Amino acid sequence: MPNEDKTLDEIMDLAATHFKVSRDNLRPDEDFFKTLNIDSLQALDLLTRLENHFHVELPDYELQGVTDFRTLAGRIHARL
């Protein structure tokens, strides 16, 4: 099973590619709504891509209050 840092890297790579932002501009502990410039509908889009990528199912209520990649990685990792 991959470690959580690898999960975090994959999430940030996927987010940068899909939302067309520079990977270098993404930080694990910053607010990804702001750095990706996305709203909640787009956040659901990201959730779906992450579920498809990691082959997990993450109830969207687990995203409540989650605004940074590191916490998001923890939530996904807990389902691997």
Q: Is residue 63 close enough to count as binding another protein by CB under 8 A?
A: yes
Tokens of 37: 């410039």
Residue 17's closest CA among 50, 59, 41? 50
Which residue's CB is nearer to another protein, number 49 or number 70? 49
Site string for another protein, 6-45 (x = CB under 8 A): ---------------------------x-----xxx-xxx
Region from 3-11, 21-29, 53-61, 68-76 binding another protein, contact rule CB under 8 A: 53-61
Residue 43 C-beta-side C-alpha neighbours within 13 Å: 22
CA distance 6 to 37: 24
